[in-house]
Amino acid sequence: MSTIHRDEHAPIFAAFNALLLRDLRVYFRYRGTWLNPLVFVLMVITLFTLGIGPDPSALSNHAAGIIWVVALLGIMLSLDALFRADYDDGSLEQLLLSPQPLYLSVLAKILAHWFITGLPIVLASPLYSLMLGIPFSAVPALAVGLLFGSGILSFIGAIGAALTVSLRSGGLLIALLTLPLYVPAIIFGSQFVESAIEGWPLMPTFSMLLGLLIGAMVLSPLAIIGGLRLSQDV
């Protein structure tokens, strides 16, 4: 019985893996898709360090807010392209009509987007700490906060990308639609980094970030599916 149960679900997860790997191959084929957000984040943080000045204490006082706002802007750079190529070549319509669960297909596409935008930002967190005067002891917490937070930002941003996919240029509209939804993630993400820098307890803000990530993973695909169906009239 357990073997039959596994066999019934095997095609579903095979389709999930196939879509995830396909999107990753497409993203890596165009280096700018994953390189531009990372370069943008590093450039803007560099400009902040030049503007605030070389004082390490002044930099560390503003580090949490700087990192999170810049990470948000970096991830938003590529959101317009999340469903754009599939919409243009007609594969999005085929995806909506596919017998495979659309919920898992949406999860696969968002996960692929996070791999090429959010994960590089997380991996570069030690460099941010060096540039902004963050204590080395706070780097693990900074990386964990960005790991959870970048996932939240990708899921929320994908809602705006789905609602504007049929527009010729929806970048500004995505920002207008999603910025109010980003506010809790920015607040708790910045507080998490600030707590790590100051040596305060991390569990309260960590619990909020975890709850926001779980809520975004569960609820945002439903809104994304609705937006995609509306764009295709399916």
Looking at the chain, the whole-number percentage of residues with pLDDT higher than 90 is 56
Count the helix, strand and coil residues of the chain and give each as a percent rounded to the nearest 5: 85, 0, 15
Residues in the chain: 234
Q: How much is the pLDDT for 2?
A: 44
**Residue 176 pLDDT:** 86
Mean pLDDT of the chain: 88
* Domain boundary assignment for the chain: 2-232
Residue-by-residue DSSP string for 159-194: HHHHHTTTSS--HHHHHHHHHHHHHHHHHHHHHHHH
pLDDT for the residue numbered 172 = 78
Check whether 180 has a pLDDT greater than 70. Answer: yes
At residue 207, the pLDDT reads 96
Question: How far apart are the C-alpha atoms of 49 and 133, rounded to whole Å?
Answer: 10
pLDDT of 177 above 50:
yes
Query: Reduced to 3 states, what is the DSSP secondary structure of residue 129?
Result: helix
Q: What is the pLDDT of residue 8?
A: 57
pLDDT of residue 4: 45
As a whole number, mean pLDDT of residues 143-165 equals: 94
CA–CA dist 166, 227 (Å, integer): 10
User: Is residue 183 over pLDDT 90?
Assistant: yes
pLDDT in tens, 37-78: 889 999 999 999 888 887 878 888 889 999 999 999 999 988
How distant, in Å, are the alpha carbons of 33, 64, 224, 227 from that of 20?
Answer: 16, 32, 17, 20
Confidence class of residue 9 from pLDDT cuts 50, 70 and 90?
low
- Side-chain-side CA neighbours of 4 within 13 Å: the count stands at 1
**What pLDDT is stored for residue 41 in this prediction?**
93
pLDDT of residue 105: 94
Taking residues 14-38, report their average pLDDT. Answer: 86
User: Which pLDDT tens digit goes with each residue over 202-216?
Assistant: 999 999 999 999 999
Question: Per-residue confidence at 234, pLDDT binned at 50, 70, 90?
Answer: low
Contact 196, 131 (CB under 8 A): no
Confidence category of residue 10, pLDDT binned at 50, 70, 90: low
Percent of the chain with pLDDT over 70: 94
